[in-house]
Amino acid sequence: MSEETPTDAPGLRAFIGQPNAALTALCFGIAVGHIVVALYPQLMTEFHRNAFHFAGFAFLAAALHPMIKGKTRSGPLLAFDLTFGILIAVSAIYLPYAEQGIYDRSVKFNTLDWIAAVICILGAIELTRRLTGWVIPALIVIAISYVGWWGQLIGGVFSFPGLSWESIAFRSIFGDDAMFGTIARISSTFVFLFIIFGAFLLRSGAGDFVINIARAIAGRLVGGPGIVAVIASGLTGTISGSAVANTASTGVITIPLMKKAGFSSKFAGGVEAASSTGGQLMPPIMGAGAFVMASFTQIPYETIVAVAALPALLYFLSVVFFVRIEARRLGLQPMANDGETVGSAFRKGGASFVIPIGLLITLLMSGFTPAYAAVYGILAVIGSSWLTENRMGPRAVFEALVMGTKGMIMTAVLLCAVGLVVNVIATAGIGNTFSLMIADWAGGNLLIAIVMVAIASLVLGMGLPVTAAYIVLATLSAPALAGMIADRFVIDALASGNLPETASAILMIGVPDPTVLVGPLNFEEARDLIRALPLEIAAPLRDLVVPQDIAIAALLSAHMIIFWLSQDSNVTPPVALAAFTAAAIAKAPAMATGIASWKLAKGLYIVPLMMAYTPLLSGDWGVMLVLFGFGVVGIYGLAGALQGCMETVLNPALRVVSGLAGLACIWPGLLWMNVAGAAVVIGLLIVNARQLPAKVQT
pLDDT digits (tens, 9 = 90+) for 336-345: 666 677 788 8
DSSP 68-100: STT----HHHHHHHHHHHHHHHHHHHHHHHHHH
Give residue-wise pLDDT tens across range 450-472.
Answer: 998 888 887 777 666 777 778 88
pLDDT of residue 462: 64
What is the spatial distance between Cα 676 and Cα 674, in angstroms, rounded to a whole number? Answer: 6
Decide: 25 and 263 in contact? Cβ < 8 Å.
no
Decide: 144 and 420 in contact? Cβ < 8 Å.
yes
pLDDT of residue 312: 92
Tell me how far the alpha carbon of residue 172 is from its chain's centroid: 25
What is the spatial distance between Cα 640 and Cα 326, in angstroms, rounded to a whole number? Answer: 9
pLDDT of residue 675: 96
The residues spanned by each domain of the chain are 429-570, 620-698
Q: Is the pLDDT of residue 146 over 50?
A: yes
Rounded alpha-carbon distances, angstroms, from residue 393 to 342, 354, 373, 379: 27, 19, 22, 12
What is the spatial distance between Cα 534 and Cα 323, in angstroms, rounded to a whole number? Answer: 47
Q: What are phi and psi of 389, to 5 degrees?
A: -80, -10
The band of 2, judged by pLDDT with boundaries at 50, 70 and 90, is: very low
The band of 517, judged by pLDDT with boundaries at 50, 70 and 90, is: low
pLDDT of residue 632: 96
Higher pLDDT, 21 or 97: 97
Q: What integer best gives the mean pLDDT of the chain?
A: 85
Q: Which of 222-226, 241-245, 398-402 has the lowest mean pLDDT?
A: 241-245
Give residue-wise pLDDT tens across range 561-605.
Answer: 999 998 888 888 877 778 888 898 898 888 899 899 999 998 999
Which of 52, 61, 55, 76 is CA-nearest to residue 23? 61
**What's the angle, vertex CA 323, arms to CA 338 and CA 685, rounded to 5?**
110
Q: What are phi and psi of 219, to 5 degrees?
A: -60, -35
